[in-house]
Structure formats: C-alpha cells, structure tokens
Amino acid sequence: MKKITLLFALLAMSFGYSQSLPFDFSDPEQLMTGQEGTSASIIDDAGNDVMEIVGGTTDWDHVSITFAENVDLSDDANNTITLRFKPTTDLGTRNHILKFEGGVGGDAATEMGFTSSGADWQDITLDMPAGAGNYSSMILFTDAGGGTATGTYLVDDIACTCGNIAPPPPSEATLPIDFSDAYELFEGVGAVTSLTVDPLDANDAVMEVTSGGGDWDHAKIEFAQNVDLSDDSNNTISFRINPLNGTGSNNHLLKFENGTTAPTEVGFTTIGTGWQDVSLDFPAGLGNYPLMILFTDAGSNGQDTYLVDDFSGATNIVPVEDPEAAPIPNAPDGETYSIYNDTNSYSTTFPVAYSFGTLSDEPDLDPGASENKALKFDFSFAGWGQGEGGPDDVSSYGFVNFMYWAAPGVPGFQFNMISNVGGNVTEHTYEIGTQEAVVTGEWTQVSIPMSYFTNIGFSSTDFFQWKCDAFMAVVHDPGVVFFDNLILTQNALSVNSFNAAEFTAFPNPTNDNWNISSSVQMNSIGVFNVLGRQVLTLAPNANETVIDATSLKTGIYFVKIEGENGSKTIKLIKE
C-alpha cells in the first residue's frame, strides 16, 4: 500500500462490467455496488451464495450494477423480473424499489416498487410497465424513502424473461457537430431527442429536443475525443437553437462533465421562436471533458420543443489511456528512504500528514492481484507534507529518484523538494524539459544527485514537503503525466533488468494461441481479464511459451509475467 493513498478523496469507482442477467451471485462479478451509505457483499446462506445488503440511513440508499449487455425490457409481454428477497430480521413491512437506468436512445428510466415483511425468503415478481426500452444499469433501493430506516437483506436469483442487448458501440462524435451522422444524436434524459430536418431548409439536418417537463431534463452526448476547454482564448462554444412553440423567455444551460477539472456550465436564454445564434464563452482554468449536456428548460418545469444545430468551438483531444505499471526499482532497504512507492517495503518512509493542491487520479496500473498505483497529474499542482515530528534529516542520501510516464505532446513538468528551516519554507525545483529532456510514451527513470538541490538552497537536514507542478513555460494545459517510485537512495539507482527486458507476443489479436518470447527467463505467467480476475496460469520456466486462448471469451486480457527479479505486464486481445 502506498504511504499516501488515504490522503486522496478520490471517487469510488465500480468496474461495472458484470455478467448479464440472471444473477445467482455464484460469481463475484455479479456483486452490486453500495451507494448512499449502503454496503453489499456475497455470503454463504445454507450452502448457497447470496448477496447481503446492509442499508444506509438516507431516503434513497441503494446498490447498483452496470451490465455487460443491456437488459431489454421493450417487449411488454416478456419483461417480468423475478428475485428472492429476505430481511434478516423481522422489520415489519418495508418498501423497496427495483429500477433500470441508462436507457439507449433516450429511453426513460423505469422502476417498480415492492414490499417485504417478516424474516423469511420471499419470492418477488415484478411485471415491468409497457413502453420501456433497454437499459445499461440496475438499481435496488433498500428502504426506499425511509429516511433513517435501515435493514439488512439477502437477495438471490434475479432473473428476467427478457433478453440482453449488446451495448452501443463507442462514440464517434467530436466537435463540430452538424447532425449529419446518426452517431451525433444526443441521448435524452427526461427529454426526447431525434434527428430531423429544418422545416425551412430540407437539406439541413438538425436535432429535435422535446422537454419532458422536469426541472433538469436534458440531452447529452459522449465524445470520442475530449473537448479541450483549457485555452481560455479558444473555449467558446457556439450553436444555433430554435424554440418551436415560442413559450416566452426560457432558461437553458450547456454543461461539460467528467473532465480533468471540475464540471463547468454556462447559462443562456431564448426568446420567442425562430433560429437564434448562441455563443458561450467558458471561464478560464478548465481542462478537457468527454461529456456535453444541454439542459433544455433548466430548473423551470418548462416544456417546449427545440431544434438545435451546428455545435462548434474549442478543440478535441484524445483521452490518455493509463500506461502499464512502472518498472520496479532495485533499491536495498537500509539505504533507501521511501516517499511514494508500493512495490517495495522500506523501513524508512516519509511520514505524510496532509496533502495540498489537486491530484487528477491515483489509478492502480496493475491488472493482476497485486496493487501498483501511480499518481496522475493533468496538470494542476499537488503536494504532500509531514506534520509533527518533521522536518526530516535526509542528508545521508545521495540521490533523489523517481519515474514518470508523460503523454505525447507534454513539454515537461516540475518536481520540487521543499525544506523548512525554523519556519522558513523554501521550494527547490528540478524541471523535466529544462534540466533534462522530456521523454513521452514510456516510463523514464530520473536520478538527481542530492547535491543539485542543496546547491540551490535546499536544506537536506530539514526535508518538509514535496510537490509536482506544471511546466513553467506553459500557459495552457500541459497534458497528462503519471508519477511513481519516488525514493531517496544512498547510491545511484539501477532499474530491474527484468522490467527492461524485451517481450514479443504474436499473433495479437489472436483466435487461438499467443506465442510469447522474452529476452529473459519467464518463471510464471498469469492471465487476467479486464476485471482483474485470473483466468489462466502457466509456469514455463523458459524464454518462450504458448498461451492457449481457445477457452477465453473475446476481449482484452492482461498477462503478468514473473521472473526471478521482477514482473512485467503486457496487454493481449482475443478475437
């Protein structure tokens, strides 16, 4: 475990790629994720695997799951959900709700309530209403609307007479959008969307959005490439909108979410009817975003029908995929002071007491059973400091070492050692891109003599904080950098030879076998699916081996190869 992991208030994320219905909870991939104070686990009930839910104390505490294939509830003669449900103690009559969300093409969410009583297994049958569609997620509200009411429940055998539908393909949409392609259609949430033509110009494709009458009904689109709003001189979004019914002066919002910085939105109004040109200048200090949302009658319970067209502005940026885990540093205990590292255990560590600034994420880059996290900057500064007991004397260490992985186009970044001498706090900078050339697209080892920092005023007897910051010469978004294995060593650091080894895997993708060869001996191999679940294991004890993939499902796999002095993970594809 990294020494500073618990300092980050990161969003809890579910992998969300469960099997499709039915669920009998014999597979941990079927476990639903607790929300709003609710927890869930798979337990044994008289020799049968079931899901146990411990409710929270809010009105709408629940568990949820995202399907690998959407559940199709569109056939009213074939959309009955059955399940078994048991309160572990007699709580009287309690109210619950089963809900499906994430409908494709604007399909509104659908739900049905049910009750439980006593403390025995109860068979629940829910005939979902007509007019539903197909849905990517399922939510079970425990004590629905019950406020502080809470209970513990067992659930099993969730099944449906319906079928499953493969999820839609990844988005192809990027700005500008003129609605000439089907993939540019926004998804309606409480609103209904469709592609049509301008009544005044039959050659002009537009999108029609009909409000649903809710406060915040909207239409949204997921981009294939993030919209980059980081350049304040080039983050104006323009489009055209036509209220068809002319219901008066209406309020609207255009919002961007799920980005590298906090969500951002700008409001606007429409008056009367007819095409109106809208130009929204978004504020400074933003990042890039994969999701754009148009709130039609924002916060007003209004209902009108709008035509929209010609979204343009800003630029598109390809999202950066997480790299493989960083190579393992070869540094002996007793000669090493660990600051940020979880691949080796050292007796001397930096005693983190607090963090400051903003970190983009701290992803686990090892898809196998072990954990190997890294800091992800995108690129707001972030730093860490120690409290009582510090500063530390690190004068016996001769080198400052870390590893980084920079996305293509990154010009560099700053690393700062910070000392505190009697209350005089000073920062001392080593800049990748200035002191040494930046390397992109691969893990790069940096080893800096401690004398570099002491020569520019750092007090090695008073080590107090450290931080990373953006490249000094860059005005706008400098890009994504992953950072790992920050350690001080008495001697120069070498990188494990196994992690530097060359690996070849072919054919990739494959229909049957992968042939793996290495420049060093491979002792053991574990094959993991995208959920981190091990599906194959081998012990070749050789430089070459064959992985039989015929029994594996189509998809992406991660192969963790262990050698005498370390490990390496590579990505393979089964067709």
pLDDT in the model for residue 565: 58
The answer, yes or no, to whether residue 2 has pLDDT greater than 60, is no
pLDDT, one tens digit per residue, over 237-286 is 999 999 998 766 688 999 998 777 778 999 999 988 999 999 999 999 88
What stretch of H or E contains 35? strand 33-35
Nearest 5 degrees, angle CA 123-CA 124-CA 129?
Answer: 155
Average pLDDT of every residue of the chain: 84
Of residues 266, 314, 322, the one with CA closest to residue 287 = 314
pLDDT in the model for residue 65: 87
pLDDT, one tens digit per residue, over 21-78 is 889 988 877 888 887 778 888 898 988 999 999 988 888 888 888 887 888 898 889 8
The answer, yes or no, to whether residue 454 has pLDDT greater than 80, is yes
pLDDT in the model for residue 227: 92
pLDDT, one tens digit per residue, over 154-195 is 999 999 988 777 655 666 889 999 999 988 999 888 889 999
Under 8 Å between Cβ of 568 and 516: no
pLDDT in the model for residue 475: 40
When pLDDT is averaged across residues 450-454 and rounded to a whole number, the result is 92
pLDDT in the model for residue 254: 96
pLDDT in the model for residue 30: 86
pLDDT in the model for residue 167: 56
What stretch of H or E contains 83? strand 80-87
pLDDT, one tens digit per residue, over 122-150 is 999 999 998 888 888 899 998 888 777 88
Give me the half-sphere count of Cα atoms (radius 13 Å) on the Cβ side of residue 425. Answer: 9
The answer, yes or no, to whether residue 7 has pLDDT greater than 60, is no
Nearest 5 degrees, angle CA 12-CA 16-CA 22?
Answer: 135
Give me the half-sphere count of Cα atoms (radius 13 Å) on the Cβ side of residue 486. Answer: 23
The pairing of strands 424-432 and 382-385 is unpaired
Phi and psi angles of residue 261, each rounded to the nearest 5 degrees, phi first: -130, 175
**Rounded CA gap, 457 and 147, in Å?**
58
Show the domains of the chain with their CATH numbers: 5-165 (2.60.120.260), 182-317 (2.60.120.260), 329-492 (2.60.120.430), 503-574 (2.60.40.10)
Residue in this structure with the two tokens 């959005």, named with its chain if needed: 209
Q: How confident is the model at residue 536 (pLDDT cuts 50, 70, 90)?
A: confident
**Rounded CA gap, 91 and 273, in Å?**
56
pLDDT, one tens digit per residue, over 331-359 is 888 899 999 987 778 888 998 888 888 88
Judged by DSSP in three states, 29 sits in: helix
DSSP state of 575: -
pLDDT, one tens digit per residue, over 391-420 is 999 999 999 999 999 987 788 899 999 999
Residues 233-267 as b or e (16 or more Cβ within 10 Å = b): eebebebbbbbeeebeebebbbbbeebbbeebebe
**Rounded CA gap, 392 and 473, in Å?**
32
The answer, yes or no, to whether residue 381 has pLDDT greater than 70, is yes
Of residues 500, 519, 525, the one with CA closest to residue 327 = 500
The answer, yes or no, to whether residue 221 has pLDDT greater than 90, is yes
Supply the pTM of this predicted model: 0.48
Query: How many residues does this entry show for the chain?
Result: 575
Contact partners, residue 233, CB within 8 Å, separation at least 6: none
pLDDT in the model for residue 387: 72
Share of the chain above pLDDT 90, in %: 38
Higher-confidence residue of 502 and 386: namely 386
**Rounded CA gap, 319 and 321, in Å?**
6
pLDDT, one tens digit per residue, over 354-374 is 888 888 889 888 876 577 899
pLDDT in the model for residue 268: 95
pLDDT, one tens digit per residue, over 493-529 is 754 444 555 667 788 788 888 888 887 788 888 887 7
pLDDT, one tens digit per residue, over 81-125 is 999 999 999 999 999 999 998 776 556 789 999 999 999 999 999
